[in-house]
Structure 1
Amino acid sequence: MLWLLSLLSGLFFTLSAAAATPQRMLSLDLCMDWTLAYHADPQRVAALSPMLKRYPVDWIGDNWPGHDGTLEQIVQLQPDLVLVGQFSALMLRGRLSDLGYKVAVLPLPGSLEQVVDYERQLLELMGENPDKARSAPEWRIPAANAKRLLLLGSNGIGTGRDTFEHQIIEQAGWRNYLEVSGHVALDLEQIASDPPDAILFAAPEHQALANRFADHPVLRRSVPPEGWLTTDYWRWQCPGPWTWDLIRQLNQWLD
């Protein structure tokens, strides 16, 4: 009799876990789009946000369903879990919560240490094993004479210290070229007199006036062509498991 009770108890637990696993997940912003596409099967996703069509990435195919961002269509899709970032779709997610839909609001990680916990939390919400989250690499402190990397964004804005990007740069073994905190307008004269070892232009690929700064002759003369690095821009936009791939790629350029 005891073995039968044990069997029934295990079966009940399995069925309960299966019933609690979301089967119609829906995203309200781009970072959650990428997270769902990275971890979930398309069959378990009711729709990704309209942001994905505006900012497509090559690793997400056309087989993923999408929604138009309206309350009416989302209600028609009947999601059993809505994922959204802290600062996204405030009114829409509020209305969905009022209507009784399960809405999970997740702040983006502010540090590399938080990326693993962030991924584990998302996996738990998705009904997946949180141990599937990728581990952070061993913490690295750049050498005092390590090469200096300038992270250049649109409009001639450089990324300094006390930023998430700064942590990525140092974890990859580089020193940040900028000694100041935050995101600052770059000084061409300073760069010309004391150039970095490398410049990584982290901005959208399409040409625009906002990106012309990167083509300035002073910058091009200050750093040789082999010192201009490129990565997938999307990896810088949202922290996630791909952050570790970005760190590994930056580290390889030091060799």
Structure 2
Amino acid sequence: MRGLVLSACLMAAGLGLAEAAPRRIVSLNLCADQLVLALADRSQIAALSSLARDPGVSAAAEAARDLPQTGGTAEEALALRPDLVLLGPLDRLGTGRVLAARGLKVERLPLPRSLDEAAALVRHTAALLGHPERGEALAQALDLPVARDGRTVTALPYERRGYAAGPHSILGELAARAGFAHAAPTTGLGGFVSLETVVARRPDVLILGEGAPGAADQGAALLAHPALARLYPPQKRVVVPDALTLCPGPGFVAAFRLMEEARAGLAR
């Protein structure tokens, strides 16, 4: 229901986006960066956020390599003379107010919680940037098929400190589309799952955000526990870099392909 409401709101907002495409776009948000890189002409991009080139969090770090960045202050944004500034739903509230008070067009992009919401956001953003056809193409790419081959392979998306993304999270939905059955004893978006519970339930594979985990800090120490090392050698760990699932866009498709390939290998 929430997805339908968000889709309707974004579609309604899109009805008023028939004006000229923006010529100088400034993104002050990591997820907005990736949508801009996927949907806008490079000549439209005046600057991206300070995280745009960080491969640890951005699925589009390479594409952003030669584009200007900003530290996110109102002064920097004003100096760039943008005709559109993109922000996340709650970040840089003061900066957004200052820019809007100066007459700049400021758009806050919501954070989707499902693939349907992600597709609606992509279409809305593409219309805002003046390229609705690109948004439609990417939204259709996010309409991922559900893999079925008759064999049940259970998977637990497991993160630092024992957090497990739930079946209704983006990662959980991507895993289901790739053909995995969710093994977490949690519903909704997710929750913490103890090491003892993982050992007792013994899902077929773990879906992790990083490979070869070490005990560099307490958050990562759980993933390096000897019990998990014994039960889940590398061939039972599906590594999906966190950068692919943090933000809506092509990263979601890449994450799905990784899981789909892993699932097919396990089935064989």
Fold shared by both chains (TM-score > 0.5) = yes
* Paired AA for residue 262 in structure 2: W
* Paired AA for residue 50 in structure 1: S
TM-score by length of 1: 0.83
Q: Do the aligned partners of 1:148 and 1:197 also contact (CA within 8 Å) in 2?
A: yes
Q: Distance in 2 between matches of 1:49 and 1:211?
A: 28
* Equivalent position of 1:31 in the other structure: 31
Q: Distance in 1 between matches of 2:138 and 2:46?
A: 23
Of the candidates 215, 218, 230, which is equivalent to residue 209 of structure 1? 218
Of the candidates 190, 195, 200, which is equivalent to residue 197 of structure 2? 190
Q: Do the aligned partners of 2:170 and 2:245 also contact (CA within 8 Å) in 1?
A: no
- Which structure has more RCO (C-alpha within 8 Å, separation ≥ 6)? 2
What is the DSSP-based 3-state SS (H/G/I as helix, E as strand, rest coil) of the residue aligned with 1:20? coil
1:98 aligns with 2:101: yes
* Paired AA for residue 91 in structure 1: G
CA 240–42 in structure 1, closer or farther in 2 if over 3 Å, else same: same
Q: Distance in 1 between matches of 2:247 and 2:224?
A: 26
Of the candidates 180, 183, 194, which is equivalent to residue 177 of structure 1? 183
Higher Cα radius of gyration: 1
Q: Do the aligned partners of 2:58 and 2:243 also contact (CA within 8 Å) in 1?
A: no
Q: Do the aligned partners of 1:111 and 1:167 also contact (CA within 8 Å) in 2?
A: yes
Of the candidates 231, 234, 239, which is equivalent to residue 222 of structure 1? 231
Shift of 1:56: 5.4
RMSD value, Cα: 2.6
* Equivalent position of 1:118 in the other structure: 121
Deviations 1:77-128 (A, max 9, x none): 1101111121222121121111110111121222111222211111111111
What is the DSSP-based 3-state SS (H/G/I as helix, E as strand, rest coil) of the residue aligned with 1:52? coil
Larger CA deviation: 55-64 vs 180-189: 55-64
Equivalenced residue count is 239
Q: Do the aligned partners of 2:84 and 2:104 also contact (CA within 8 Å) in 1?
A: yes
* Equivalent position of 1:154 in the other structure: 160
Q: Do the aligned partners of 1:202 and 1:231 also contact (CA within 8 Å) in 2?
A: yes
* Equivalent position of 1:239 in the other structure: 248
Structure 1: stretches of 5+ with no match in the other structure? 1-16
Q: Distance in 2 between matches of 1:248 and 1:127?
A: 29
CA 151–18 in structure 1, closer or farther in 2 if over 3 Å, else same: closer
TM-score by length of 2: 0.80
Larger CA deviation: 180-189 vs 19-28: 180-189
